Each structure stands twice: as C-alpha cells, then as structure tokens.
Structure 1
Amino acid sequence: MLLEFRIKNYKSFVDETVFSMVPAPKQTGLDYSILSEKVGSRKHKALCSAVIYGPNASGKTNIIGAMETLRAIILRGNIRNSDSDISPNVASSSLELIPNCDSEGSPAEFSISFIEKGLLFQYSLILDLGRFLDRDYERKILEEKLVVNDKEVFSRGTHLEVYLPQVIRHLTSRSIKRITPKTKEIAESSLSDTELFLTNGFKNIFAKELTDVMINWFAEKFMVIYHSDAIKVMRKFAEPKEKAIHVEATLTEAAREFGITSNALGYRTDGESDEAVLCSILSNNKAVIPADIFESYGTIRFINEFPLIIKTLINGGTLVMDEFDASIHPMALMNIISIFHNDEINMNHAQFIFNTHNPIFLDGSLFRRDEIKFVERDQETKHSTHYALSDFSTAEGVRKGEDYMNNYFVSRYGAIKEIDFSPILKKIISQSREN
C-alpha cells in the first residue's frame, strides 16, 4: 500500500514535491475510499485512488515517470544506464534525462513510503547525476537510507551505518547476530558509487529476506504504466501447438460488457513461437482475426488494460497509469473506479492512480477532495508544482456540494490553461491567400 512518494530535481519538478496517498486532515465523507492497515500497534490509512489533472505539458506524466524511474533503478540495483529497458519512459534507462535543464548539477532525490507484509518501509535516494544530458558524468549515490517501522535500518552517506533493529530480526541473516567491526568493514568494501547498497551489500550480507520483500513489492505490486497506449498484453505457452486457439473466458466476458463485436477473444499459437497473438473469434463463420485489426482502438485499449486491473485487485497492488482513460467510454471508466471503492471487491487494499483531461471525475460524490490532484507549470520558470483539491479552503470553492468541474474550468483551482489557435490559423490562412 503506497503512502507517499517524493521527488526533487526530476525533470520539471525542481523543488521537493510530495505525492501523498495519506488522507488529508479534516476531510470527511466517502469513507469507502480509505484503506487501513495495521503496523505494530499503529493503524496507517491510505487513499485507494487518486486522479491527477493539469494542462498538456504541465508535468502530470513526469510524476508517473518519476515513479517508474525509481522502480527501474531499484529493480536493476544501480544508477547506470540500461540498454535493455524497453519502457517508453526513456529517463528510466537513460538517467542523464532526469536533472532539470536549469538545475546546475543539483542532486536528484527520490523517496517512497509503503506498507507490505505488515511492515512500513521508507526508502530514499539522493543521486549526483551531473547536468542534464551529461551522459559521461561520473555518477554517484550521495545518500541512501532505509527505515522500517520508524526504525533506521541503514544509512549511507559520507559513512555507512547499519543497525538491524529488532523489528526486522526475523528477516535478517541468521549468521549475523550483531554488527561487528568486521561485518561493517565487509559492508563498506561492498559499496560502489553507482550500485545500491540495498540490493547489493545489504541484501547479500545482512538481510536477503527483508530485501526480497521490498523487491517483490516493486516488481509485482507497484505497477507503473508510462504511456498506457503502449501496453500490449502478451501470453506465452510452454508448449505452443500449431494453429491452436486458447479462448480467454474471463477477458471475453469483460469485453462483452465493454461491447466487443466478436463472439470471443483468444490467443492463437503457431507451434513455433511461445508468444501468442490476441485474436477475435467469430463462431458464425469460424473466422479468427487478429484483434488489433478487427476491434476498435478503444476496445484494444480496454483488453490490454483490464488484466492489469485484475492483477492489482488480486495482489492488493498499486496501479499507476498515464492516460488510462483515453478512448474508453465514461461509463466503463466510472465502473472501474467504483470497483476500487467497493470494499467487498477491493478486499486486498488495491490502489489506482491515473492522470486525465476528462472532467467527469471532478465529482465530489465520486472522489474525495484529497483524491483529486493537480499539476501546474509556471510559464516563466517552466517548473511544475503539485497540490490537491483538499489544499484549498472552503472559501475557494471546495465545500461539499460545490461544482468542482465548473470551478476548475473558471480557473478557481489553477492547473488549466486558456488555449486559442485562432491567431495562428488566421495568420496561416492570410499568408496562403497572399501566395
């Protein structure tokens, strides 16, 4: 369960930015949106959903990109560039794209707080990546810190300190009873300027089981989708049969609700490749057609996104998607949101975060004020800022029953830009007549 994500000097976000999934104080109503998990004797609360608004190029996608970048760094265990990363978020594999153009070499900072397996993890990184586009810069991890259940586990800066508090003892190496000068010396010798201590020395020497809990959360439960239109769900079969059709009953049933035109959906194998092709199956004339040819673009988007919704709900994960709602009917969108708000379905405390331009979610009966987020970019500095609707006072149009949509479009909350292409088009048309 994600509680908080922080960044500093990541692309358009120069100042420290906090994306919080912790309910704002004094916010009431829509209690079904509040998740609660116990850590020790203390209960922690989190929002089950959040929607991010802002004009084009404001920085909405940069927040999601920053989440994916931290995830990628942790999963590969270093801050070197990766040539194998196929994500459309190039900054997650080419880290010279992270620093802001005007940052003059200031460090980039990441921090994340989440709950997993009854433990509260707080992990942070401060990275010296040089200037924007400086690929050859000798990068260095300036600081790295892990806190579990408010107890410091290790901190890495000018010196390395490892503590191994009692709260994590059941997940640490049985051979390490206490930190001795010898074990500390071994740990310090494992340090590399570009490698995370978390996934290298700490994991190998002190706490493989604890590290695995964290890594599994990032790999399986923190699903960050940058550019959701690039999603393409692939199925693989251990022993693919030639011209075999594997009907997906659950996906077909959901797609029928969505409005598919075929009788069923399935995967076709050719007996040579272990990857299968998603197809539309027409039983009346026994035709099998690649789905991306036969179905609409909106249907294909839904087919590729729906399995992620299922996985998130089953695993109790956090799904973060860029432009999730593009080309999907509002009724389908509303239903998916309501599922995450349904305690009888969302029993595993799944979370759903997405950005959008669609104003239908600016509804006080659907989202709490602290679930409605905004991103705005200063026209002079080009720096982005992030805030929530709950940050506004009641005098600024956030009373219960207020028309949030109307207030947004009259720029009561900012994060909106007036657009007028008329002068450009008039000029072009005028020039065309002169020619």
Structure 2
Amino acid sequence: MLIQFRVENHRSLRDEQVLSLVAASLGDSKDPRLLRPQGLGEALLPTVALYGANASGKSNVLNALGFMREAVLRSHRFWEPEAGTPQEPFALSNKVKAPSLYEVDILVEGVRFRYGFVLSAERIEEEWLHTWPHGRKQVLFEREGDHFEFGKHLRGENEIIRGLTRVNSLFLSAAAQNNHAALLPIFGWFRAARFELHRSPLRGLEPSQFIALRSMLSWQLSLFDEDNKARQHARDALVHLLRAADLGVLDIKVTTREAPRSYRGPQSRFDTAGLEVFLRHQAEAGHEVWLPLEQESAGTITLLGIATQLVHLLKHGGLLCVDELEASLHPMLGLKLLQLFHEPRRNPKGAQLLFTTHDTNLLGNVLGESVLRRDQIWFTEKDRAGATHLYPLTDFHPRKEENLERGYLQGRYGAVPFLGQLVTTPGEEN
C-alpha cells in the first residue's frame, strides 16, 4: 500500500511536494472506507482525487510516480550504459540543471519501507532503502555517488550486485534482475502498480491493457492451461463489471486470426499477436451480435481498459493511477468505480486508486452522500513562475456539512483557472 509519495524537480513540480494517503482525524475513525492494514498504526485512504485547472500539474504528479516506477523496473536492463538518465527536470529556472528526487513510503507484507533516489542527467546521485519492522527503523542500504553502505539486516549478494550496478542504474533495479530475494518484494510493489495516463489520439486499448486482457481471456484458446480456472474467474468478474455498467455488453471473447501470408502491413491496434476481442450485445427481436472491439464506443473501451486492471487489483491489491478518470465515462459510472475501492467486501486486499479529475459531482452530494472524504481531496495550482503546488483540502479546515463542490467552483480552495476573454471580437484585440 502507498503511504506517502515525495517528489522534487520533476516537470512542473519544481519544489518538494508531498502526497500523503494517511487518513486525517476527522472524527469518524470507524469510517468503513478506510484501510486499516496490519503493521501500520495509521489508517490509509483507498482513493485520492487530484483537482486543479488545466495545465496546473495534476497529471505531473501521476507522471512523477510513474517515472519512479519505470526507473525501478527498467534502469538496469534498458537504460543505455553511457546515455545518462532520462531525467525530466523543471525547465523554467536553473532547476533544469539540478537533480530530481523521488521517494515512496509503502507497506509491503505488513512492513513499512521508505525507498527513494536522487538522479541527475548523468547518473544516480543517491539511493536509499529503510524499513521499520516491529516499529524500529533499520537501514537496509544507502548509496551516495559510488559509495554504498549495506545494513546488517540486508542479507544477500550485496557486494556482487553492487559491482554490476552502473552509475546510471538503480541498485534496486539491478538487485531484482539478479534475484536478490530480500529486495524482490519491494521491486514487486512497483511492478504491481498500474498507470492509465494520457492516451494517444488513436482510440483503443493501450498495450499494457491489451496484454492484461489477452492473459485474462487466453484460457478460451487452450484446454490444458493450468491457470484456466483462475483466468476464467477473472474473465467472469470482468463480464460482471461490464454488465453492471449498463453498456449493453453481455459477454466478451477472444479469437485468433491468421493474417494472409501476403499481408505485411502493421497489425491492428486491437489485434495483438493474432488475437481479436469481441463483445456480445443484445440486438433486435431477441438476437445477439458479437461486435469487434474497434466498433465500440470510446466510453466502453475506456472502461474495458480500466476494468482489466481493476479485476486483478481488487483481488490481489496494489495501486492504480488514472489520469482524467471521467474521460468518456458517465459521472455515475465513475462514482461506482470509486465505491469498489471503498467497500471492504469488494476490496479485501486494500487496493488503492489515485486519480486526476475535473468531475465536481464527486465533491457534492447530488448523487447521494458524498463519495469522498475531505482528506481524499487534493489540489494542484501553479504559481507565476509555472511551478506546481500540491496541497490537501484539509488545509482549509472545511466543515463536515460544507458544500465542497460550490466552494471549489467559487475558488475558495484555489486550484481553479482565472479566465480572461477566450474569444475576441474585431477591435478588442488589445
């Protein structure tokens, strides 16, 4: 579970920004929405919403966490040895030449860990991993430049892996690739995190979504797969979610298609490794029709992409980050997705959702009792220098009965655009 994320000098996040998923004391300690994991003396939030004007930096918060994940997963194997790092610093000041910091506090297998690193354009400058078993801090390793120090509790081939760690790769990344048993759970937390960030202009599933969907449905293509039963259960859960969303979808299937030997063109966006996805719909006169995925609406495809991640996360736990949750989704459908994370029966492993949105319905009670607690609402706002500031609604100490939607739209909490005249008429250009 994610406890806290800290970042500095990533895109518009010029100064240090901290996002906390620790529940605030709001006088409702028995709120069933809260996560109460063993090994942590504090309750955690299952969902957090980021609000703010366009270009205020909401997406950059998710992007920074996604960048950290990619560095952990890929730096040892995929970053070129002499190419430095793919740093993305704040470009509007002298921070463009400064290093960037990324740090998470996470709960893995009931133990709290704090992992982070500092990188420049040339190399990894610092890296550290601390833990708190039984509530007492232990240093597992610390790195500064080329100097490494390993704590006595980190057992494994530390020195050998240190020799394999390049200046522009993370020790954690190298350790996981070399099967360091003690560090694999930390690496696994990053690998399990899922990100649905800005989509390309082409409508369709992202590669990661299609891979998940293909794995989920591939039991239909083999009668001898040992994982058939588990995958069929996942597929049934996916179909149930699609039916409950009232999209007119009754079922889903995957088929193989052999391309003609003379065909040498690019594969369809919806056809990975010769697989095609079809959704079954109710038609006139009681008939049913299977439609290929490319004929579905943007909303159906958006939900299907998120649903492929949801089914796994709600069963096994993990973090899902979604940019613009409301994109192509009806407000009531977005509300239902949040409620999946808020219901302990449906979210027994404590999966978490971090998302950006402009949907103010989630702030009010038009659709019933407010779905979000006051500590689940965060804002981003840019200053005159173009730097993003991240802060929680609780900084304003709103009353429990306060109309949050109205207050936000009125600018009471900041994080709204200051609009000038968007269109000028002749003679008004100046």
TM-score by length of 1: 0.79
C-alpha distance after superposition, 1:79-114 (max 9, x if no partner): 9757xxxxxxxxxx9824344331141110000111
> 2: CA distance between counterparts of 1:334 and 1:26?
22
> 1: CA distance between counterparts of 2:5 and 2:339?
24
Equivalenced residues, count: 382
Q: SS state of the match for residue 69, structure 1? A: helix
In structure 2, what is the equivalent of residue 291 of structure 1? Answer: 293
> 1: CA distance between counterparts of 2:418 and 2:151?
54
In structure 2, what is the equivalent of residue 302 of structure 1? Answer: 303
Counterpart AA for 1:373: W
In structure 1, what is the equivalent of residue 391 of structure 2? Answer: 387
> 1: CA distance between counterparts of 2:27 and 2:205?
35
Is 2:368 aligned against 1:368?
Answer: no
Q: SS state of the match for residue 200, structure 1? A: helix
Q: SS state of the match for residue 183, structure 2? A: helix
Q: SS state of the match for residue 114, structure 2? A: strand
Aligned counterpart in structure 2 of residue 45 of structure 1, from 33, 43, 46 = 43
Counterpart AA for 2:370: S
Distance 1:219 1:55, change over 3 A: same
Q: Where does the alignment leave 5 or more consecutive residues of structure 1 unmatched? A: 83-92, 130-138, 177-182
Aligned counterpart in structure 1 of residue 151 of structure 2, from 140, 143, 163 = 163
Counterpart AA for 2:419: I
Counterpart AA for 2:74: R
Kindly indicate whether the alpha-carbon contact (under 8 Å) linking 1:38 and 1:118 is maintained by their aligned counterparts in 2. Answer: yes
In structure 1, what is the equivalent of residue 52 of structure 2? Answer: 54
> 2: CA distance between counterparts of 1:344 and 1:80?
40
> 2: CA distance between counterparts of 1:261 and 1:188?
55
Kindly indicate whether the alpha-carbon contact (under 8 Å) linking 2:117 and 2:127 is maintained by their aligned counterparts in 1. Answer: yes
Counterpart AA for 1:193: V
In structure 2, what is the equivalent of residue 426 of structure 1? Answer: 425
Counterpart AA for 2:91: N
Distance 1:382 1:187, change over 3 A: same
Q: Where does the alignment leave 5 or more consecutive residues of structure 2 unmatched? A: 223-230, 260-271
Counterpart AA for 1:114: I
| 1:124 Cα deviation from its structure 2 partner | 0.9
Distance 1:200 1:291, change over 3 A: closer
> 2: CA distance between counterparts of 1:201 and 1:299?
40
> 2: CA distance between counterparts of 1:318 and 1:81?
25
Distance 1:27 1:6, change over 3 A: farther
In structure 2, what is the equivalent of residue 216 of structure 1? Answer: 188
Kindly indicate whether the alpha-carbon contact (under 8 Å) linking 1:32 and 1:342 is maintained by their aligned counterparts in 2. Answer: yes
> 1: CA distance between counterparts of 2:255 and 2:413?
50
> 1: CA distance between counterparts of 2:182 and 2:236?
38
Counterpart AA for 2:303: F
Distance 1:249 1:118, change over 3 A: closer
| 1:74 Cα deviation from its structure 2 partner | 0.1
In structure 2, what is the equivalent of residue 147 of structure 1? Answer: 130
Aligned counterpart in structure 2 of residue 100 of structure 1, from 62, 73, 91 = 91
C-alpha distance after superposition, 1:303-329 (max 9, x if no partner): 221121111111111111111221211
Kindly indicate whether the alpha-carbon contact (under 8 Å) linking 1:228 and 1:321 is maintained by their aligned counterparts in 2. Answer: no
> 2: CA distance between counterparts of 1:405 and 1:43?
32
In structure 1, what is the equivalent of residue 228 of structure 2? Answer: none
Identity %: 26
In structure 2, what is the equivalent of residue 403 of structure 1? Answer: 403
Counterpart AA for 1:209: A
Counterpart AA for 2:376: E
Distance 1:279 1:112, change over 3 A: same
Counterpart AA for 1:145: W
Distance 1:270 1:338, change over 3 A: same
